[in-house]
Amino acid sequence: MKLITVFFDLEAPFLWKAEGKFDLEGAVRNISGILNQFGVKAVFNTCGIVADNFPKLIAMLH
């Protein structure tokens, strides 16, 4: 068995600048699907303001 650490940082300022330029929830859904396909566990770090603005995204990752 190989052990790795996978960490994604969903930073609020970046998300504000990118809002409307791409489908954030769709992108995270795709990443999550790939991780699940290969049985890889990961951490998605974010802050409260992202959770407030993207509640569906946080629920999807929970």
**Is the pLDDT reported for residue 7 higher than 70?**
yes
Q: Cα separations (Å) of 28 from 1, 22, 23, 52?
A: 26, 11, 9, 17
DSSP letter (8 states) at residue 36: H
Domain boundaries of the chain, sorted by first residue:
7-61
Model-level pTM? 0.71
Sign of torsion, CA 22 28 31 37? negative
Q: Cα separations (Å) of 14 from 3, 19, 24, 32, 37?
A: 29, 9, 11, 20, 27
| pLDDT tens-place string over residues 14-60 | 666 666 677 778 888 999 999 999 999 899 888 888 888 889 888 98
DSSP letter (8 states) at residue 19: B
